[in-house]
Amino acid sequence: MSIRDALCRPFKMLIVSLAVLATLIAVHQQPEAYAASHAQIVLLGTGSPPADPDRSGPATAIVVNDTPYLVDFGAGVVRRAKAAVLDRGIKALEPTNLRVVFVTHLHSYYTDGYPDLIFIPWVLGRRVPLEVYGPRGIKAMTEHLMEAYSADIEARTNNPYATQRDFPDGHKVNAHEINAGVVYKDENVTVTAFPTKHAMESYGYRFDTPDRSIVISGDTNPTQATIDACHGCDVLIHEVQTLESLAKRPDFQAFATHYHTTTRQLAELATKAKPRLLIIYHASIALRPAVNPQASSPEELLNEVAAHFSGHVVIGRDLDVY
Ligand SMILES: [Zn+2]
């Protein structure tokens, strides 16, 4: 070995070590987020009814070949989509691209971003109608929102100076009331609805894309239909209530027993459904305890699930990408 090589070797080792360290840090910050994959899951909102500034209302985007598909539209959905463009580099989620949406159920905090989704992308330049798929009642909700915002619609479509006048279809909605089974199919996805068990008519959805199968629960009691819909799927996105938070809310326990899923039940369900990745959303947690004293910490939630589920599980946070 030459003197030059002997001097260079420690230097090279240092460079290699730094490169490995940088890779480890990158992987730790965004596990799987930017994996080469056609289908990306972007968690736009992972919250629940409490007005949590860290977690918007439930909304999930599945992006396939630069085409976005949404599930649910809780409060903040359009701004979170724009945040995904700016902060995560997912250009497909430009608000004007939001055109195809599936709704799990019509509870207010899953749907109170609906006028946001109908009207703001139109104002920003969407030229085609929104296609919305959901349970019975979605047509009436859509008609009532059109009526509620008729002054805005008239002002924009009849005013010679309003730019929306040139694309009058951009605020329109084709609302499709669905039954269980395949509800949508195009070159990117096949979407299958399955019945869930909640306080009203409700559905979960399975997305089959060229490279991934993704199942999302919405609000539900544990059901065999969810297990069957996943059945070894790539990703299961499921709601949950911690036992700890339920213990603090005796007034909510009867409702939760009938219409939601505990950590213990989710662990049992996931053990049977065998997803390669379980993403928990709509959980009874708060990232800051002051937001909701009855909520659990993310650590407590993970402890409760991991105690009975040995698979890969993560707690979804707003703007996480999987
Ligand atoms: Zn609900």
Å from CA of 139 to ligand 1 middle: 18
Instruction: Look at the alpha carbons of 22, 27, 30, 35 in this order and tell me if their dihedral is positive or negative.
Output: positive
Tell how far the Cα of 256 is from the centroid of ligand 1, in angstroms: 10
20 assigned to some structural domain: no
Give residues with Cβ within 8 angstroms of 138, minimum separation 6: 103, 106, 132, 175, 176, 177
Indicate if the pLDDT at residue 23 is higher than 50: no
112 Cα: distance to centroid of ligand 1 (angstroms): 12
User: In which band, very low, low, confident or very high, does the pLDDT at 30 lie, cut at 50, 70 and 90?
Assistant: very low
* 244 alpha carbon – ligand 1 mean position (Å): 20
CA distances 203 to 138, 198, 206, 263, Å, are 13, 9, 10, 20
Rounded CA-CA distance 154/85 in Å is 31
**265 domain-assigned:** yes
- Which tokens belong to 306? 């991991």
Which residue in the block uniquely carries the two structure tokens 């799990």?
A: 104
| 42 touches 315 (CB < 8 A) | no
Please give the distance, rounded to the nearest whole angstrom, from the Cα atom of residue 9 to the centre of ligand 1: 61
What's the confidence (pLDDT) of residue 5?
A: 52
pLDDT at 139: 98
Residue 12 lies in a domain: no
| Across 100-114, 158-172, 218-232, 289-303, least confident range | 158-172
Q: How far is the CA of 231 from the centre of ligand 1 (A)?
A: 24
Query: pLDDT (tens digit, 9 = 90+) per residue, 237-259?
Result: 999 999 999 999 999 999 999 99
Is 134 within a domain?
yes
Residue 18: inside a domain: no
Please check whether residue 27 lies inside any domain of the structure.
no
84/110 Cα distance (integer angstroms) = 19
**How many angstroms separate the alpha carbon of residue 105 from the centre of ligand 1?**
7
Query: For tokens 């608000």, what's the residue?
Result: 95
Separation of alpha carbons 22 and 16, rounded Å: 10
Backbone Cα Rg of the chain: 22
Q: Could you tell me where the DSSP H helices lie in the chain?
A: 3-29, 77-88, 108-111, 114-124, 138-148, 150-158, 224-230, 243-247, 253-259, 263-273, 298-306
pLDDT at 134: 98
* Apex 173 CA angle, 172 and 174, nearest 5: 130
Q: How many residues belong to the chain?
A: 322
In terms of Cβ atoms closer than 10 Å to its own Cβ (0-12, 13-18, 19+), residue 67 is middle
* Arithmetic mean of pLDDT, 15-35: 43
Q: Residue 91 falls within a domain, yes or no? A: yes
Q: What is the pLDDT of residues 90-131, one digit of tens each?
A: 999 999 999 999 999 999 999 999 999 999 999 999 999 999
Asked if residue 186 is part of any domain, the answer here is yes
**195 vs 5, which has greater pLDDT?**
195
| DSSP single-letter state for residue 320 | -
Least Cα distance to 213 among 277, 272, 267 occurs for: 277
Read off the CATH number of the domain in which 251 is found. 3.60.15.10
How many independent structural domains does the chain possess? 1
| Residue 166 pLDDT > 90 | no
pLDDT at 65: 95
Ligand 1 mean position, distance from CA 219 (Å):
5
Mean pLDDT of 309-314: 98
Q: How far is the CA of 278 from the centre of ligand 1 (A)?
A: 20
pLDDT band at 38; cut points 50, 70, 90: confident
Which has more confidence, 33 or 294? 294
Cα separation, 128 vs 126, whole angstroms: 6
pLDDT in tens, 53-100: 999 999 999 999 999 999 999 999 999 999 999 999 999 999 999 999
Section 133-154 average pLDDT? 97
* Biggest distance spanned by C-alpha atoms of the chain: 83
pTM of whole model > 0.85?
yes
112: its two tokens: 């109170």
Cα–Cα distance for residue pair 310/188, rounded to 1 Å? 32
Structural domain of 293: 36-315
